[in-house]
Structure 1
Amino acid sequence: MTTLKDVADQAHVSRMTVSRVINHPDKVTAEVKELVYQAMQSLNYHPNAMARALVNNRTQIVKLLVLEEMTTVEPYYMNLLTGISKELEGHQYALQLVTENSFEIGSCDGYIITGMRNEDYEWIRELKMPFVLFGENRYGYDFVDSDNKMGGELGTRYAIQQGYQHLIYIGIDLAEPFEYSREAGYLQVMQEHGLEPRIIRSENHSTQIQNYIMEHWADYAENTIFICASDRLALGVERAIITMQGSIPEQYGIIGHDSVFLDQVAFPKLTTVKQEVAQMGGLCAKMLLNKIMQNNKPQGNCVTQPQLIIRDTTK
């Protein structure tokens, strides 16, 4: 039976180093980790995660708590799950997906929480275990998110550069930080250019905004662009323009936000502001693991930069 000493001997390092690679890989150089991992693979050595959990008084389990209806934002959460699970696997942690009604069933070492609304923070602040929020907040809790304000700016600046005369922001009708930030980016750029903002807010459903645009079609002059807070809204706007026989992108432009899936299946394909959701999932896991190792020490926030992906719905 292969032992820790066997791995150490093959990798020409100490047993302490092998233990550190297994238990605290973030504290070991990439070169040393590669040597140890190669030795483990060669010897078919698999660390006993159960034994390590008992020694460390941990469960080796992280729970992802989703506080909104996932079917309204699929496949967004699949990308998030992928990023979280890949990072946890490298630290021999398991991931459990739970809901608000089941999150207290069974033990874990910490939580990643997403889909928060204002009413959720009352009980979130009572949590004693380490947790990280996926999504910006204004309560000082550790979080990971994309720079939503920058995303709003990127889309709006590009629309102006492309010569669209009428820039309409289609927002999600939610009193939440990410929506405020995306809208703030639009407003800032409009103000910088001395342009009058125009905002429409809708639930994040493509059919609802499609019907609205069609009902108010006479209000939208040619050379209008719709800057949307989500790809789902952008898809609804696109369908409305096509139904009303408008020309995309010559007469009407569309910019979405998220770039997870809908932007690629839409036709024409959507110009959109891309969030690296899988990457952010990995960052959530890394931040939470650091917090667990550091006895719940605050980690602050991590904000990634979005990217404008130019496709067929803009000039």
Structure 2
Amino acid sequence: MVTLSDVAKQANVSKMTVSRVINHPEQVTTELRELVVAAMQELNYQPNAAAKALANNRSNVVKFLILEDIDTTEPYYMNLLFGIARGLDKRQYALQLITDRQKLTAGNADGYLITGARTSDFPWLDQLEKPLVLFGENRYGYDFIDTDNKLGTQMATKYALAKNYQSIIFIGIDVKEPFEYSREAGYINTLQQHAKLPRIYRLANHSRLSQQYIEEHWREFAPNTCFICASDRLAVGVVRGILHEGGAIPRDFGVIGHDGVFLDQVSNPQLTTVQQQVPELGEHLARMLLSKIAQSGAQQGELLLAPKLVTRGTTRE
């Protein structure tokens, strides 16, 4: 096994210099740094991650807190976790999953990734001292990464218009949160550009509720209508409601969901949906947090990843 001494001998420098290049590269000249790095590469030397973390007074652990109820039958969070883990692995960081906020600050961690934060959570978030990045839009100045929700519903609405659906209805999630405002804004702005009036209904995010709503209000929905839904879960319920009432999908009624992780594929017919790039979102979350840790908590800003519109059997070809 190649040691620190071997690298020092190869580069003709002291062990202290090699240690500084590994742990505090800003303290050595560019010339010395390049010399040591070249020796490390030539000898295929891999610095001990635990020792490096100790030298930097770090744990090399990131905690991921989920602040919302999750359905373990859906792979959304598994995809997100895979992306986060992939991003952390590249820097030899470990991931610890937390579901109880009271345990977030227990033990050691270099920073936090948090998802599911709502408006009522921000006073508590303000008290956290470690670097943190949120998964999901916010308007409180926290660094975050999310899907471009507004762009997603713009794409969906433009597609419905292009397929000549005359009435386009938005079925939203009944929460007063930034991601929902953005999804509604994409729909509203696109309709206004085409001189059409928005029509919005908001429900709790359960398929049985959206199915029930369609069935109870069936006479209000004329043929040649497309429903733009704020989630695949709502979209699945809309599909079931239309089929229960004898509506023809996609000839007379179209349905477009939002998420594209699992339910879109098991729906019958399969859903046209705005697909989030969930593993990539996870990897970007890891990168942003590690960058923030390395920069002693410096602000990182926001990053919105463009979704994809995946067309399937619930809209016209």
Indicate conservation of the 8 Å contact 1:22/1:47, yes or no: no
* Aligned-residue identity in percent: 53
Aligned CA distance change for structure 1 residues 299 and 247 (closer, same or farther; 3 Å)? same
Please name the residue that 1:284 is paired with: 285
SS at 1:181's partner residue? helix
Deviations 1:143-200 (A, max 9, x none): 1111111111110011011000111100000100000000001000111111111111
Asked whether 1:49 is paired with 2:49, we answer yes
Please name the residue that 2:232 is paired with: 231
Counterpart Cα distance in 2 of 1:17 and 1:243 = 71
The Cα shift of 1:241 comes to 1.4
Asked whether 1:80 is paired with 2:80, we answer yes
Counterpart Cα distance in 2 of 1:125 and 1:95 = 22
The Cα shift of 1:235 comes to 0.9
Indicate conservation of the 8 Å contact 2:23/2:52, yes or no: no
RMSD (Å) for aligned C-alpha atoms: 2.8
Number of residue pairs the alignment of both structures matches: 303
- Shifted more, 243-252 versus 287-296: the winner is 243-252
Please name the residue that 2:300 is paired with: 299
Counterpart Cα distance in 1 of 2:218 and 2:42 = 63
Q: TM-score, normalised by structure 1?
A: 0.88
Aligned CA distance change for structure 1 residues 22 and 87 (closer, same or farther; 3 Å)? farther
Please name the residue that 2:202 is paired with: 201
The answer for unaligned runs of 5 or more in structure 1 is 25-32
Deviations 1:252-309 (A, max 9, x none): 1000111111111212111111111111111111011011011111011111111211
Please name the residue that 1:255 is paired with: 256
The Cα shift of 1:75 comes to 2.1
Counterpart Cα distance in 2 of 1:164 and 1:242 = 18
Indicate conservation of the 8 Å contact 1:23/1:91, yes or no: no
Please name the residue that 1:58 is paired with: 58
Aligned CA distance change for structure 1 residues 309 and 8 (closer, same or farther; 3 Å)? farther
Larger Rg: 2
The equivalences for 1:155-170 within 5 A come to 155-170=156-171
Counterpart Cα distance in 1 of 2:265 and 2:10 = 48
The Cα shift of 1:7 comes to 7.2
SS at 1:71's partner residue? coil
Please name the residue that 2:34 is paired with: none
Aligned CA distance change for structure 1 residues 65 and 307 (closer, same or farther; 3 Å)? same
Please name the residue that 2:142 is paired with: 141
- Shifted more, 47-56 versus 185-194: the winner is 47-56
Indicate conservation of the 8 Å contact 1:170/1:201, yes or no: yes
Counterpart Cα distance in 1 of 2:159 and 2:242 = 20
Counterpart Cα distance in 2 of 1:209 and 1:129 = 40
Deviations 1:43-94 (A, max 9, x none): xx66432222211100100001111012289322111101110010010100
Aligned CA distance change for structure 1 residues 127 and 252 (closer, same or farther; 3 Å)? same
Indicate conservation of the 8 Å contact 1:61/1:108, yes or no: yes
Indicate conservation of the 8 Å contact 2:111/2:293, yes or no: yes
Please name the residue that 1:29 is paired with: none
Aligned CA distance change for structure 1 residues 20 and 301 (closer, same or farther; 3 Å)? farther
SS at 2:202's partner residue? strand
The answer for unaligned runs of 5 or more in structure 2 is 26-36
Letter in 2 for 1:282: E
Deviations 1:179-223 (A, max 9, x none): 000000100011111111111111111111111111111111111
Indicate conservation of the 8 Å contact 2:113/2:289, yes or no: yes
Aligned CA distance change for structure 1 residues 275 and 9 (closer, same or farther; 3 Å)? farther
Counterpart Cα distance in 1 of 2:175 and 2:200 = 14
The Cα shift of 1:22 comes to 9.3
Counterpart Cα distance in 1 of 2:194 and 2:21 = 55
The Cα shift of 1:112 comes to 0.6
Counterpart Cα distance in 1 of 2:42 and 2:77 = 33
Counterpart Cα distance in 2 of 1:285 and 1:273 = 24
